[in-house]
Structure 1
């Protein structure tokens, strides 16, 4: 197979760094639009998924959000929920205009934080053909129950300070995305640091940091509630032992969707990235639910 093409996609005045994977079949083929979760980049554990989808006959666009990785956007490490959802929409609209891509067979794929994003994005775009949401963040209230009170308080204070400084035009106050138990960081479960570090690619531009102002908006983000608006097929892959994105709200989101399917795996949050069976299950789902002309097995 040919290597992925490294390209740039415009989004709200910035340039999104993306890898474009094309199968042998010239198309028009279904296209899977992918992005990472909390502070992740396109090089962190996702190329094996993109390659598996490409080998199964799908076009794949794997991109970095604005402010992260190889994409443009200042300040760096600004994790803005609305902007990240806008970036998904920008990539989808770009993909619909490309030769070799069927504009009516665009699939959204997300994992962890982006697993919630794809539910919200698909709810606003009924033309999306299918959605895959892996170990998704679906409810901030359930997630915050996993965060020690001391950590939540410290991050909130940092968030207020960061927002005040942002209004004054100052650089962002950064907080760690992952840490060990007892650290002040967004994710501090026992498996968070080793799990995240295990998927960071050798050439990754990943940084363990995000602008703390996110914590002023994070408690209100509950994308699982959008699942009831989805008319397209939805596959939710839930990790039964997940201590980062609790499985309870995720299961409810899958059941809210008109055409939702739930697959369970005996993992913690990051273990799912290393299981080839997960990729096989997702490809099987796509072959079942996409309209006529879905790719044949490679």
Structure 2
């Protein structure tokens, strides 16, 4: 298996960086399908995406592209934009540019592109698959199909009322040329942060300690974005005929399983799902024992 450092430009000229994977034994004249893998809210590619890509390469005749979202990890951001900012429609547009990039690679069969997304990126992958017919299959693990709905359920009303005025404060400050307000992703129990659950703290704090490029912050505007976007929820009924696979965790408190299965119900055939006894972050860990098998079978059926 060969992993190559790559970079490509988005439509607005931002350089995104990542890795391209291909089996070492692949003939130079062989064109293979490509699976594009993207990570969740604030995550960077080193947080397990390489392991999933390597698994696909070992099990299937495919190539894989893994990259960091703009403003995160190794990727750049626009000159006027801060780092650590999540704008979902922009990440979805970048995903479409990633499709274009792999279509230009000589190793790739440009008619066979699949998207694999985790958490927020799973929802972005579903949105892209609904509007871009170049996508021939999509795997969505713990998709947060409507961040607006998730925020409304998981955040106490008094907390929402307290934070909403800060969206205005942040916008006025940025308009005046000041730095954006930053918010921690995780905090010690009881601290104010984006993801206050114990499992979120356990997952991210390990990456904070090990010297990765992950940073414990996002901009306040990222929260403004997440609290007001329905993302792919309105598009689920137009995904057909693109095949869809949902990975659902029974103990998920970021994208609760009842919500995920309701969104799954809005998708027409062809579709598949796997429910695993896991929390949100175990979709990238212990649950891979089940999901690897199911995802490989899904791609073998619909892509390879």
TM-score normalised by length of structure 1: 0.91
Task: Decide whether the 8 Å contact of 1:107 with 1:128 is kept in 2.
Answer: yes
Deviation digits for residues 43-94 of structure 1, max 9, x if unmatched?
Answer: 1121110111121232111011111111111411111112111110110011
Task: Decide whether the 8 Å contact of 1:67 with 1:77 is kept in 2.
Answer: yes
SS of residue matched to 1:129: strand
Deviation digits for residues 116-140 of structure 1, max 9, x if unmatched?
Answer: 1111111110221100000111122
Whole-angstrom distance in 2 between the partners of 1:201 and 1:6 = 25
Whole-angstrom distance in 2 between the partners of 1:289 and 1:255 = 20
Query: Is 1:67 matched up with 2:68?
Result: no
Task: Decide whether the 8 Å contact of 2:86 with 2:225 is kept in 1.
Answer: no
Alignment-derived partner of residue 204 in structure 1: 212
Whole-angstrom distance in 2 between the partners of 1:30 and 1:96 = 10
Whole-angstrom distance in 2 between the partners of 1:53 and 1:200 = 27
Q: Which moved more, 1:64-73 or 1:270-279?
A: 270-279
Match for 2:138 among 108, 131, 147? Answer: 131
Q: Which moved more, 1:202-211 or 1:36-45?
A: 202-211
Runs of 5+ in structure 2 lacking a partner? Answer: none
Alignment-derived partner of residue 239 in structure 1: 249
Give how far 1:272 is off: 1.7
Match for 2:121 among 114, 123, 138? Answer: 114
Q: Which moved more, 1:172-181 or 1:89-98?
A: 172-181
Whole-angstrom distance in 2 between the partners of 1:279 and 1:197 = 25
Query: Is 1:103 matched up with 2:110?
Result: yes
Task: Decide whether the 8 Å contact of 1:155 with 1:215 is kept in 2.
Answer: no
Match for 2:264 among 254, 258, 273? Answer: 254
Give how far 1:33 is off: 0.8
The Cα RMSD (Å) is 1.8
Query: Is 1:38 matched up with 2:41?
Result: yes
TM-score normalised by length of structure 2: 0.89
Query: Is 1:76 matched up with 2:75?
Result: no
Q: Which moved more, 1:130-139 or 1:170-179?
A: 170-179
Alignment-derived partner of residue 296 in structure 2: 283
Whole-angstrom distance in 1 between the partners of 2:16 and 2:277 = 34
Whole-angstrom distance in 2 between the partners of 1:40 and 1:252 = 26
